[in-house]
Copies of this chain bind each other. A is one copy, B any other.
Amino acid sequence: MFKINDNYLKLPGSYLFSTIGKKVNAYAAAHPDKRIIRLGIGDVTQPLVPAVISALHGAVDEMGDAATFRGYAPDLGYDFLRNAIADNDYKARGCDISPDEIFISDGAKCDSGNIQEIFSLDNRIAVCDPVYPVYVDTNVMAGRTGTYDPQGETWSNVIYMPCTAENDFTPELPRETPDIIYLCFPNNPTGSAITKGQLQEWVDYANKVGAVIIYDAAYEAYISREEVPHSIYECQGARTCAIELRSFSKKAGFTGVRLGFTVIPRELKAGEVSLHSLWARRHGTKYNGAPYIVQRAGEAVYSQEGKVQLEQQIAYYMRNAAYIYQGLKDAGYTVSGGVDAPYIWLKAPKGMSSWEFFDYLLENANVVGTPGSGFGPSGETYFRLTAFGSYENTVEAVDRIKAL
């Protein structure tokens, strides 16, 4: 008789976005005259830029002609894309990463969920709190997290690193020693960034204790300050302790196109075994490459034309971020993020909980955001707004909040 993976049953329901959906739908049904503005979910709204569209059309035409048709892609990605990434994201920033250390995939969510597979079950993970839920949930599904405490909303075998106003939303080195450390900067959900000096401390720590850092840099394209590193490989010694995850979703609006990559330097080893070889084996066995047309779209992101167009797209979103940040600040809110990231993190006013503020905003301003408590216990009393809406909607939402 077959038996299921019981670890799945330990997962608490993932009700955050479905609860938001239900509340919004109920409000909309009761108030059909109100125009609701959604600044909640982290999905983009601007179309793909012309350089990408043109590359997609070109690649589609190639697929329709026997002379240029492409079947199975190389498991680890086409050289044209791996080379473009190595040159533009690494070499241009002084990072020593070669094309064959870059693994093309269908997105950072998949990679951030799958990467734990190449590690033993008896590793202890450390995560920021609040945190993107995929890191913890995929470790729960593998059976690495111990038992769940529904009161504290924590797992017994996970080290939580609170990110609060007190530490400027940047975690302190943990007191207990982890084996695997998940870091995401610029951060989802808090919108905070880490300086190169601060990140260097983490790299030094990981090398000292023999931990591996899984560094999620999905939002690096939104960095504006000079002192904030775009890659962990800007730090000395990262090649022996860090895996980096990257995404085209926010960098180029590829949320519905699906493209990302993971970097594993060859020096990152447990004894004689390189994590590079394990991840290559995983890719070769359980994955079949990103679509050719999508990889050509990714290549176009690094073209001269594509770069200019995407700079404008990111500037568009960051104008929203600045408007939200300043507007809320003017209205007396405690606000952070929004400078190196498309997320604004604010403190709910008047002692409200995250969900109380959600209801308050929905009912009084018809604006939808995301309760910070949905990302972890230290997110309680916080609230996330995203810069991914249209400029017009963003301005109207902020003006409504200011008028409350």
What residues of chain A have their CB less than 8 Å away from a CB belonging to chain B?
Answer: 1-6, 8-9, 11, 14, 41, 43-48, 50, 53, 56-57, 60-61, 63-66, 69-73, 106-107, 109-110, 113-114, 117-123, 134, 137-138, 141, 179-180, 209-212, 253, 255-258, 270, 273, 275, 278, 281-282, 284-294, 390
Do B1 and A134 have beta carbons less than 8 Å apart?
A: no
In the complex, what distance in Å separates the CA atom of A138 from the CA atom of B287? 11
In the complex, what distance in Å separates the CA atom of A9 from the CA atom of B270? 12
Do B47 and A255 have beta carbons less than 8 Å apart?
A: no
Residues of B within 8 A of A120 (CB): 3-6
* Supplied contacts A47-B66, A106-B106, 13 more A-B pairs, CB within 8 Å: A1-B211, A3-B120, A5-B118, A8-B118, A9-B273, A14-B285, A47-B69, A57-B60, A63-B256, A70-B256, A71-B253, A134-B286, A256-B291
Q: List 17 A-B contacts (CB under 8 A).
A: A2-B123, A2-B211, A3-B119, A4-B118, A4-B120, A4-B273, A4-B275, A8-B118, A14-B285, A44-B71, A47-B63, A47-B69, A69-B256, A110-B287, A134-B285, A137-B285, A138-B286
One of B11, B41, B57, B71 near A57 (C-beta < 8 A): B57
Known: A66-B45, A117-B5. A109 touches B287 (CB 8 A): yes
Residues of B within 8 A of A1 (CB): 179, 209-211, 270
A218 to chain B minimum Cβ distance, whole angstroms, is 12
One of B66, B69, B118, B258 near A288 (C-beta < 8 A): B258
Do B3 and A289 have beta carbons less than 8 Å apart?
A: no
Residues of B within 8 A of A293 (CB): 56, 257, 293
One of B4, B66, B282 near A278 (C-beta < 8 A): B4
Do B3 and A123 have beta carbons less than 8 Å apart?
A: yes
